[in-house]
Amino acid sequence: MEVHFATSNAGKFREAKEILGKEGMDVRHFPFVHNEIRSDSLEEVATEAVRAAYAQVQKPVFVEDAGLFIHVLDGFPGTYSAWVQKKIGNTGILRLLEGVPDRFAEFRAAIAFTADGRDVRTFVGACRGAIPKKPEGKAGFGYDPIFVPEGHSQTFAQNIQLKNKLSHRYKSLSEFSRYLQGYQKGSTKI
């Protein structure tokens, strides 16, 4: 099945193509720049964006919105993670947490898919972990150097294979892949 991933983030596209490709899905990149709505809900942001993407591509399409939710910061940066990454980056996040013992954080991802521009399905994944005191690793992108998944000692940027097995994106893409397999066989409806 051919499905388009509407994103301007090349790192997200590579991860999705690799994960879904293993399931036999043909993932095409649809370069998509969109002024997202402001919401504290990843699902709401993704749902609105996938409708806008479908209006442009007119083919089965999905978008993914993700965020880093830091407990002690009341979930900040959350749905504003991409903007915060551009403005203050990992260094700024680490500065906000200087001297703070509670380092719990959670990556969350929401995928929204539509085949017709009207009906939308969402798939959510999460990965619990902690923010280390300094960035580690060179792989991945974004917050990967400052996120250590629960039960592990390396950041996502230190161990990309670990990220590809545990990440919020992997979990939401796996759920999406199961859905697409059923959709392709006709046993699943939107």
| Residue 102 annotated as catalytic | no
What is the token pair recorded at 170? 């992997």
The pLDDT score that the predictor gives to residue 185 is: 63
CA atoms in the 13 A half-sphere facing the CB of 163:
26
> What is the per-residue DSSP string for 91-118?
HHHHHHTTT-S--EEEEEEEEEEESSSS
How confident is the prediction for the chain on average, in pLDDT? 92
**Rg of the chain taking only CA atoms, in angstroms:** 16
Going from N- to C-terminal start, the domains of the chain cover 2-185
Q: How confident is the model at residue 41 (pLDDT cuts 50, 70, 90)?
A: very high
Task: From 92, 66, 88, select the one nearest 79 (Cα to Cα).
Answer: 66
The two counts, helices (H) then strands (E), for the chain are 6, 7
Q: CA-to-CA distance for 74 and 60, rounded, in angstroms?
A: 35
Q: CA-to-CA distance for 168 and 11, rounded, in angstroms?
A: 14
The pLDDT score that the predictor gives to residue 65 is: 93
Q: What is the mean pLDDT of the segment spanning 4-19?
A: 89
Handedness of CA 50, 112, 131, 163 (dihedral sign): negative
Are the CB atoms for 28 and 52 separated by under 8 Å?
no
Percent of the chain with pLDDT over 90: 76
Q: What is the mean pLDDT of the segment spanning 143-172?
A: 94
| pLDDT digits 0-9 by tens, 46-79 | 999 999 999 999 999 999 999 999 999 999 999 9
- Whether residue 109 is predicted with pLDDT greater than 90 in this model: the reply is yes
Q: Does 77 sit behind a cis peptide bond, omega within 30 degrees of 0 on the bond before it?
A: yes
Q: CA-to-CA distance for 117 and 111, rounded, in angstroms?
A: 15
Query: Which of 65, 74, 102, 116 is the catalytic position?
Result: 65
Are the CB atoms for 102 and 146 separated by under 8 Å?
no
Residue 58 phi/psi, 5° resolution?
55, 35
Architecture of domain 2-185: Alpha-Beta Complex (3.90)
Q: What is the mean pLDDT of the segment spanning 86-110?
A: 97
Residue 109, Cβ density class (10 Å: 0-12 exposed, 13-18 middle, ≥19 buried): buried
Q: What is the pTM of this model?
A: 0.87
